Copies of this chain bind each other. A is one copy, B any other.
């Protein structure tokens, strides 16, 4: 069995359950999905500030997962929180759900629209699309949804998500939809059937990329930007993280 650690970098176990379910739905029979909830940091990641405080908890789980035998890890937040730091930290491949979703969408559509939760997350995802070379192909829309409200069927969140998909088709000429939050992972199949067009969930996409990298025998390059951290002292509450 190939173990893939899927880290929910927020501290809400019910969201981890949604993520784990989506991951297992698409995982190969030979893949063991270990879904982990971060024990340190925000209950949801909504914007740059929350993201910063999700990093230590996330990276602790990444390091733990590699030591416990994981072959790869997935960071299950659409901001690709801590992705570069995680890659520098470990040798196993680490995949972000935004990068995986955009790469996946690009194989089946020329133009696509990401629908994310809150307006404050729209520009960060635009920046990711820019960084991943997808700025010319991906539009980003926010549905004005609090992340955790996705878990409440009566919150109206799913209706607002649907409205943005309708707008993406009409105004963006979207050929596919990318769900821009790990908390939407369970909606991909329903929405794909409902709208008759490809709908991509980043959690599933990232699990498949992680499996692919393991199968290909590829690990994170340790030349250049992802070179292993140099041994040094870390002060204060985070001293446990100091590279040896």
Chain A residues with CB under 8 Å of chain B are 11, 26, 28-30, 38-44, 46-53, 55-57, 59, 82, 84-85, 87-89, 93, 95, 99-100, 103-104, 106-111, 119-120, 122-124, 127, 130-137, 146, 169, 173-176, 189, 192, 197-198, 200-201, 204-205, 208-209, 211-213, 215-227, 229-230, 232-238, 241-243
A238 contact set on B, CB distance < 8 A:
40-41, 53, 56-57, 237
Bound-state CA distance A232–B149 (Å) is: 13
Cβ contact within 8 Å between B107 and A221: no
Bound-state CA distance A101–B20 (Å) is: 28
Number of copies: 6
Residue from A103, A136, A169 with most neighbouring chain B CB atoms (10 Å): A103
A226 contact set on B, CB distance < 8 A:
48, 108-110, 120, 175
* Nearest B residue (CB) for A95: B107
Cβ contact within 8 Å between B107 and A132: no
Contact A122 B173, CB 8 Å, known A47-B227, A95-B107: yes
